[in-house]
Amino acid sequence: MTESFIRPSSSFAMVLFAIIVGLVLVLSLTKKLYYYLFRKKRYYTIPRFSVIGMTNIAMVIAIAVAIILLISAITGGLASILFRVYPGTRVSIETILVKISGLLFGPIIGMISGIIIDLLAVTLSAGFFHYGYFVVAILTGMLAGMIRSLLTTSKYSKYRNFSLSVYLSLLVIASFLLTIFLITSMPEIRINGGFDLSIPGVSQTKISSVVFTWIILGFGIGIIAFIWITFLIYKLTTPNNAYSLSGFVHKRQIHSNHKNIITIDAKQNWYSSLSSLVVLAGVNAVLVNLFFLPIFDKEITGQPYAFWISIRLIANPALFMIDIVVIFPVIMIIQPIMKYNYEDELTEDLNTPLFVKHWTSRKEGGNMKINKDDLKKLSRLVMFELDDAQLEKLQVEFEDILSNFKQIEKLDTSNVKAMNYPISNSSNKLRDDRDVYQADQKIAQKTAKETLGDFVKV
């Protein structure tokens, strides 16, 4: 049954793609239920609309298309020709930027970005559209978004980075084992016991299914080892007095006046960004580059599936390193600049009305109440981390303040003339504008240690 079903055909690839999308939706709904039952929050599968969010998404998509056009311009049109002859090269470039979008905005926006970036890249570079590569762009954005979702899930754990390491390790194990099973079950791989590794200028080397399995397993073990080694390094090198919310670290140092002062250093959580990116690059290299892309390469070129696996296997180390070298600096630079809190767009307190604004004016007849979500947003803006007890105390204090304003609103000011100043007599109490004695410039320069022309040099 398995032998007849698993084949290197586009129909099988599309079925598997649909299954993966379905699993992502099921996981999203499960997460939604978890937030509702245990965290007493609403979880939105698609981030809520905001001007900042839409602007940032548009910016990432625009950068992606601009890079593809820039490559075409620099190469004098050769890249456009290559994109048309073999769309796989275009996909390899554009998926780098799709990954950035997914890592920043989650699975749904990642998929949408994959759709838009691929269509725009095809249109603007006069490239060749193929539904298979279109699906690959969507799948890449979804995988990147899944890892972003793991980041948001681990955030609420007391041991955030540890939880993230566990989630990422499980994702690597699942995706790598799935890829090994799918590829080794392909008829031409299974019947021949492997495939020929074709390296230009070098004699062909037979790669058996067992050797291929150990290559992929070794790659996966290496990624998992990297996750936990970097976790230990980050744990040992990061002070305990770090603010997890803002990423700020405070330290005490001796100033020149021999007094202790406290300084604040802005340090991002590089571990979560780096480990997530390495896992994304690894999963994409194995599941997308070794399984999905060779199927569509075979359909376009007519070359055997095993041939394209060998080509992709050779190119994978370079593509893996390019992903890390290009995406990691971009993420570390763009994320602080964007000031976009992905988590704020996904979660909301259950007490928050779905269609009613909290902050309403007197004309709207509002109660001027504030809830914990409002306080959390304010605390993020000023980079304070507040626990539940502090939030409850602040909520009471804010409501007292707002109730005082409500009392003031009851005053009848209809016959009171508007004032520009808090006092009625706003005349200028300063001295009269008249000449006074000023020191002579030459006399002032004589007292200076060093001068330059008409100026005192400091």
Q: How far apart are CA 455 and CA 444, in angstroms?
A: 10
Does residue 358 belong to any structural domain of this protein? no
Does residue 252 belong to any structural domain of this protein? no
Q: What is the pLDDT of residue 339?
A: 54
Q: What percent of the chain has pLDDT over 90?
A: 7
Residues near 28 by beta carbon (within 8 Å), at least 6 away in sequence: 45, 107, 149
pLDDT bucket at 149, cuts 50 / 70 / 90? confident
Is 119 a residue whose pLDDT tops 50?
yes
Residue 420 token pair: 């520009």
Q: What percent of the chain has pLDDT over 70?
A: 69
Mean per-residue pLDDT for 168-184? 90
Residues 206 and 152 in one domain: yes
Does residue 357 belong to any structural domain of this protein? no
pTM of the shown model: 0.67
Lowest average pLDDT, out of 149-158, 183-192, 211-220, 406-415, goes to 149-158
**Per-residue pLDDT tens digits for 7-58:** 778 888 888 889 988 888 888 888 888 878 877 777 777 766 666 667 777 7
Does residue 86 belong to any structural domain of this protein? yes
Which carries the bigger pLDDT value, residue 263 or residue 354? Answer: 354
Q: What is the pLDDT of residue 388?
A: 77
Q: How far apart are CA 297 and CA 9, in angstroms?
A: 11
Most confident by average pLDDT, 72-86, 229-243, 299-313: 299-313
Q: How far is CA 236 from CA 175, 231, 232, 239, 411, in A?
A: 30, 9, 6, 8, 60
- Provide the residue range defining the domain that includes 401: 368-408
Residues 335 and 379 in one domain: no
Does residue 433 belong to any structural domain of this protein? no
Residues 290 and 170 in one domain: yes
Does residue 138 belong to any structural domain of this protein? yes
Q: How far apart are CA 349 and CA 69, in angstroms?
A: 44
Which carries the bigger pLDDT value, residue 375 or residue 60? Answer: 375
φ, ψ (nearest 5 deg) of residue 243 = -85, 110
pLDDT bucket at 220, cuts 50 / 70 / 90? very high
Burial (CB count within 10 angstroms: exposed 0-12, middle 13-18, buried 19+), residue 435: exposed
